[in-house]
Amino acid sequence: MKKLFFITLAAFAFTACEKDDPIIPNEEELITTLIYTLTPDGGGNPVELKFQDLDGDGGNVPVISGGTLTSNTTYSGSLKLLNEIESEDITLEVEEEGDEHQFFFSVSGLNANVDYADTDANGKPVGINTTLTTGATSNGQLTITLRHEPAKDASGVANGDITNAGGETDIEVTFDVAIQ
Amino acid sequence: MSLFNKISLLLLLIPFAGLSQNNCNISLHGQALDEVTGKPLPFASIYLEDIQKGTSADADGYFAFDGLCPDTTHIRISHVSCEPLRQYLIIQKDTILNLYLHHHEELMDEVLVHGRHSDQTIENSGTIDKDLISQRSNQDLSKVIEEITGVSTLNTGSGISKPIIHGLYGNRIALLNNGVAQAGQQWGNDHAPEIDVFSADHISVVKGVGALALPGSSLGGVVLIEPGATSEDPHLHGSTNHVYQTNGRGFTVNLELEQGGLEKAIRFNGTLKKGGDLHTPDYFLNNTGKEESNASLFYEFGKSKAWQKKLYASTFNSTIGILRGAHIGNLTDLLLSFERETPFFTEEVFSYEIEAPRQRVHHHLAKLEAENAWAGNQKVSLTYAAQLNQREEFDVRRSGRSDTPALSLIQFNQQASALYERNFSKGLLLRTGLNGAYTDNTNQPETGILPLIPDFNRFDEEAFLIIQNEKAKLLTEIGGRLSLNQLHVVTISRDLPRRIERFNHQFSNVNLAGGLAYSPSRVLKLSVNGGYVERAPAVNELYSFGLHQGVSSLEVGNQNLEKEKSLKTTTSLDINWNDKLFLQLLGYAQSIRNYIYLKPAPEPELTIRGAFPLFNYDQADAFFRGFDALLSLEPVESVRLVSKLSLLKGTDQSNGIPLVFMAPNNLSNEISLSLPDGQRLKNSRISGRLKSVFEQKNYIEGLDFVNPPPTYHLFEMEFHTALSTEKNAFHFSIRGENLLDVSYRDYLNRQRYFADELGRNLTFRVQWEF
């Protein structure tokens, strides 16, 4: 009995080998990059606002590039979400689940206004396509928020007011923007 | 209480002359005694079921049966305000039988439950017995042991709770299920112990530091979950327990079956639980359902042989829903949640449905133990155990990924131990042993997310020696333990390209403990116990990286952590005044150097999902001091008053600030009244309890996201009665919790940021013993 016991003890002490290399997970859900492209309605060069965190949480810090807009101009805005690790376009996922997602745009210090230019299956806005209208010259920030499972019927939400939206934040990025 | 209380019944069979008598003139004499005080229980009733003879004890607890024929029978003994006891008896010769009942279950401890003459120790402990376990079998293990003073729980909502002993929890607490150190993901604040409370015969909490013989960390106390001894009764006995609770419309069904014997014994134990959305006084807590299915099998063989063998196997499977409104994104979401009256996603619809966020946990254990006692004073026991733990946590995710776990871990653990015990003459006892454990933890790559904790292998080896000396009224103990931990970690880098990196850590720990217990008379018992314990940092403290569900913060490990060094002393004083008033006082102080904690970083971490509070594992010197008190008063036989008080203060000495998540001071006062036995209904009692949890005042602004909630008081009532027939016993009870439907939040609940605690809950229970 005793012998058997020590054999067992020894067996598990020595058979335990080095751990195998872990399989690096396929981070298909990760969003590394958000690009908000603003194209002036009357023609001209598009402006690109970009947030890029290529390695996800931790590691290197994200790179954020803001932009300069022209005053009293209407822009067509379009959002693109990318997973650059897996080379995937996440915009499509959000579009497909449009009824479970909504982007919100808020400005501080900027004379600008963002309106929705798209709808989900239920006729509620999603915010992948927008119209941005600038006013007088100003400097400030534009914050873009993506909520997953927001209360799309709640008061003000369809007009872009985030207050009653709830849900959880999948994206929240802030850009420095100047209107000249 | 039929077969359940066998362990608590200390059977003293003293054969007279040993002559076999085949004629019907055997006498059975005995005394009914209180397990705790040893005091006689007057007028207890004793019944020999199979012979159909009954009698009453006299004023001194003595009873006598004469003219019995050689036979076997079940003996049942009951006494006012005690759970009745049932025991198998072989009548062969004249016998003196002392029967011990749990008259004072609130005063039970680990020494008493194992009998006065074995397992003597100077450790301070509190014990929950099977009666209470059966009554609370719909609750979690941690919630049940919260009945012991000095024990509190760290909760995530109402479905997940972890025990806190004297302010310490998680990696600093060892849980021993059936003598096996519970493996699994104990580091997580939202990971409940994977143990079915009903599988235990009794549960003890060791509060001091003397638990060196037990494997695992004992820096912050030990919880012992024990199955109890099997009986010699060759008949099949068992019990079923049906519980319904109104809050969450939860059902619990338990079944226990046991067939004992002189040679072998077998016991089966199973539990099924299902509950739906719980509710606060004002709203539903959506997605807080729970399902559990557990079973265990205990097989003892070779009971009469030199080597007595025990085989134990158990399986625990649970799915727990987590409040949808507590699953949030970033710091902005968190701040928004704080301001809301009701959590996001609250709907006035009840459902049993469990959706993401949820946890699915499986835990399987197999254990083989062999014990050999010889020469009346020596004992050796060998144990091998294997555990498999699988944990999956599901988040609300995009594109149908909510059914893909966001965390998926498999842990395999093996343990072996060899213990030797020898009783020398003159009260000297020596215990020594070796423990070894191997843990293999692997992330499953299906998650599509970089793992929160890395893959690792860990080896733990321990050797201990304890010497005990009992001289008249003084019991002294001294012991030491050496342990060696080796950790091999394989991580995936956070920056690109993703790389696999390997790290090794080695720690050696020294533990020393000593103490003495002095009881100059039956009135007084004084014990002092002190010890030095070292603990190596755990893998999550060294390597975790990622978001912790529900609290929306990034936790980052620190590879340079050193081991914790703790010095703890406990002093206790037990007073028994006239067997009417019992007072247990326990004071403690614990100083921990290099105490590992999460330190908030000055700047939040910026990610594409916004800003997150960042916490780094760091070390500081911590100091804990506290006081537990228990008062039990029996002014007249049928009335009992039980008061419990726990005080604690935890300080971060390096930074001169209070520690977070310290149990607030609390007080509980209970009065119970035993009703006279009726024609059929016996052992009826009614009790009321007021529980007060005070505001955590040892706090400074900014220590936590939200300030501690205010003081609250809860009122509970319980009614119990029992019906005994020839071979069966039925117990009925109704229990009401938070009867005044008070809205409150608890400091130790991590979901207090989002939602209130539970509203009124009524629990109905029927137990059938056969």
Q: Chain A residues with CB inside 8 Å of B370's CB?
A: 1, 5
Interface test with A, best of B415, B459, B609 (most A CBs within 10 A): B609
CB proximity under 8 Å: B 161-220 to A: none
* pLDDT value of position B9: 39
* pLDDT value of position A12: 52
Using the predicted structure, report yes or no on whether residue B632 has a pLDDT greater than 60: yes
Distance from CA of A58 to the nearest CA of B (A): 6
Report d(CA A2, CA A9) in Å as an integer.
Answer: 11
The average pLDDT across A41-59 equals 90
Distance from CA of A33 to the nearest CA of B (A): 8
Q: By percentage, how much of chain B surpasses pLDDT 70?
A: 94
- Give chain B's domain count: 2
Distance from CA of B411 to the nearest CA of A (A): 13
* pLDDT value of position B737: 96
Q: Which of B307, B396, B398 sits opposite A1 (nearest CB)?
A: B307
Is the CB of residue A180 less than 8 Å away from at least one CB of chain B?
no
Interface test with B, best of A21, A31, A146, A169 (most B CBs within 10 A): A169
Is the CB of residue A32 less than 8 Å away from at least one CB of chain B?
yes
The average pLDDT across A43-71 equals 92
- In the structure, what pLDDT confidence band is assigned to residue B22 with cuts at 50, 70 and 90? low
Residue B372 backbone phi and psi in degrees, to 5: -135, 125
The average pLDDT across A101-123 equals 94
Among B23-27, B657-661, B668-672, which range has the highest average pLDDT? B668-672
Instruction: State whether B748 and B625 are in the same domain.
Output: yes
Domain end (from B103, B129, B164): B103
pLDDT per residue over B330-345, tens digit each? 888 888 888 888 888 8
- For the record, the structure tokens of B425 come out as 């003459």
Interchain pair B608, A34: CB under 8 A: yes
More confident residue, B750 or B718: B718
Using the predicted structure, report yes or no on whether residue B17 has a pLDDT greater than 50: no
The average pLDDT across B84-113 equals 80
Q: Which CATH architecture has domain A39-179?
A: Sandwich (2.60)
pLDDT per residue over B259-308, tens digit each? 998 899 999 999 999 999 999 999 999 999 999 999 999 999 998 889 99
Instruction: State whether B726 and B615 are in the same domain.
Output: yes
Residue A92 backbone phi and psi in degrees, to 5: -65, -40
Report d(CA A70, CA A26) in Å as an integer.
Answer: 41
Domain end (from B103, B122, B138): B103
Secondary structure, 3-state, A117-150 = CCCCCCCCCCCCEEEEEECCCEEEEEEEEEEECC
Using the predicted structure, report yes or no on whether residue B14 has a pLDDT greater than 60: no
What secondary structure does DSSP assign to B115-131, as a single string? -TTSS-----EEEE-HH
- For the record, the structure tokens of A92 come out as 């499509």
What's the CA angle centered on A147, arms A142 and A153, to 5 degrees? Answer: 110
Return the amino acid letter for B222.
V
Q: Which of B333, B370, B492 sits opposite A169 (nearest CB)?
A: B333
* pLDDT value of position B2: 37
Instruction: State whether B312 and B248 are in the same domain.
Output: yes
- In the structure, what pLDDT confidence band is assigned to residue B73 with cuts at 50, 70 and 90? confident
Q: Which of A16, A62, A149 sits opposite B608 (nearest CB)?
A: A62
* pLDDT value of position B623: 97
Report d(CA B506, CA B484) in Å as an integer.
Answer: 7
Instruction: State whether B134 and B99 are in the same domain.
Output: no
The average pLDDT across A7-30 equals 71
Instruction: State whether B427 and B505 are in the same domain.
Output: yes
The CATH number for B408's domain is 2.40.170.20
Interchain pair B606, A61: CB under 8 A: yes
Using the predicted structure, report yes or no on whether residue A148 has a pLDDT greater than 50: yes
Q: Chain B residues with CB inside 8 Å of A24's CB?
A: 445, 492, 498, 500
* pLDDT value of position A5: 52
Q: By percentage, how much of chain A surpasses pLDDT 70?
A: 91
- For the record, the structure tokens of B756 come out as 């209130």
Give the pTM.
0.90
CB proximity under 8 Å: A 106-145 to B: 145
Interchain pair B398, A94: CB under 8 A: yes
Q: Chain A residues with CB inside 8 Å of B500's CB?
A: 21-22, 24
Among B116-120, B127-131, B194-198, B677-681, which range has the highest average pLDDT? B194-198
Is the CB of residue A21 less than 8 Å away from at least one CB of chain B?
yes
Secondary structure, 3-state, B267-329 = EEEEEEEEECCEECCCCEECCCCEEEEEEEEEEEECCCCCEEEEEEEEEEEEEEECCHHHCCC
Instruction: State whether B98 and B111 are in the same domain.
Output: no
pLDDT per residue over B382-437, tens digit each? 999 999 999 999 988 887 888 999 999 999 999 999 999 998 878 888 999 999 99
pLDDT per residue over B501-513, tens digit each? 999 999 999 999 9
Mean pLDDT estimate for chain B: 88
Q: By percentage, how much of chain B surpasses pLDDT 90?
A: 57
Q: Chain B residues with CB inside 8 Å of A96's CB?
A: 399
The CATH number for B21's domain is 2.60.40.1120
Range in A19-23, A130-134, B359-363 the model is least confident about: A19-23
Contacts of A151 (CB under 8 A, 6+ apart): A157, A164, A165, A166, A167, B344
Interchain pair A168, B327: CB under 8 A: yes
Secondary structure, 3-state, B432-475 = EEEEEEEEEEEECHHHCCCCCCCEEEEEEEEEEEEEEEEECCEE
Instruction: State whether B96 and B164 are in the same domain.
Output: no
Instruction: State whether B92 and B228 are in the same domain.
Output: no
Instruction: State whether B477 and B511 are in the same domain.
Output: yes
Question: Which structural domain range is residue B14 located in?
Answer: 2-103
Report d(CA B176, CA B180) in Å as an integer.
Answer: 5
Q: Which of B328, B436, B448 sits opposite A25 (nearest CB)?
A: B448
Q: Distance of alpha carbon B363 from its chain centroid, rounded?
A: 17
Q: Chain B residues with CB inside 8 Å of A11's CB?
A: none
Residue B75 backbone phi and psi in degrees, to 5: -105, 135
* pLDDT value of position A3: 53
Residue A82 backbone phi and psi in degrees, to 5: -125, 150
pLDDT per residue over B573-609, tens digit each? 999 998 889 999 999 999 999 999 988 888 888 888 8
* pLDDT value of position B10: 38
The average pLDDT across B547-556 equals 74
Instruction: State whether B129 and B27 are in the same domain.
Output: no
pLDDT per residue over B139-187, tens digit each? 999 999 999 999 999 998 888 999 999 999 999 999 999 989 999 898 8
Buried b / exposed e along B433-456 (16+ C-beta atoms within 10 A): bebbbbbbbbbbeebbbbbbbbbb
Contacts of B118 (CB under 8 A, 6+ apart): none
- In the structure, what pLDDT confidence band is assigned to residue B708 with cuts at 50, 70 and 90? very high
In A, minimum Cα distance to B450 occurs at: A25
Give which of B95, B134, B123 is closest to B5, Cα–Cα.
B134
Report d(CA B88, CA B72) in Å as an integer.
Answer: 7
pLDDT per residue over B209-236, tens digit each? 667 777 776 788 889 998 888 888 889 9
Instruction: State whether B96 and B115 are in the same domain.
Output: no
Distance from CA of A137 to the nearest CA of B (A): 28
ipTM: 0.88
* pLDDT value of position B210: 63
Domain end (from B68, B103, B138): B103
Instruction: State whether B678 and B741 are in the same domain.
Output: yes
In A, minimum Cα distance to B383 occurs at: A5
- In the structure, what pLDDT confidence band is assigned to residue B327 with cuts at 50, 70 and 90? confident
Q: Chain A residues with CB inside 8 Å of B610's CB?
A: 145, 169, 171-173
Report d(CA B198, CA B649) in Å as an integer.
Answer: 33
* pLDDT value of position A126: 96
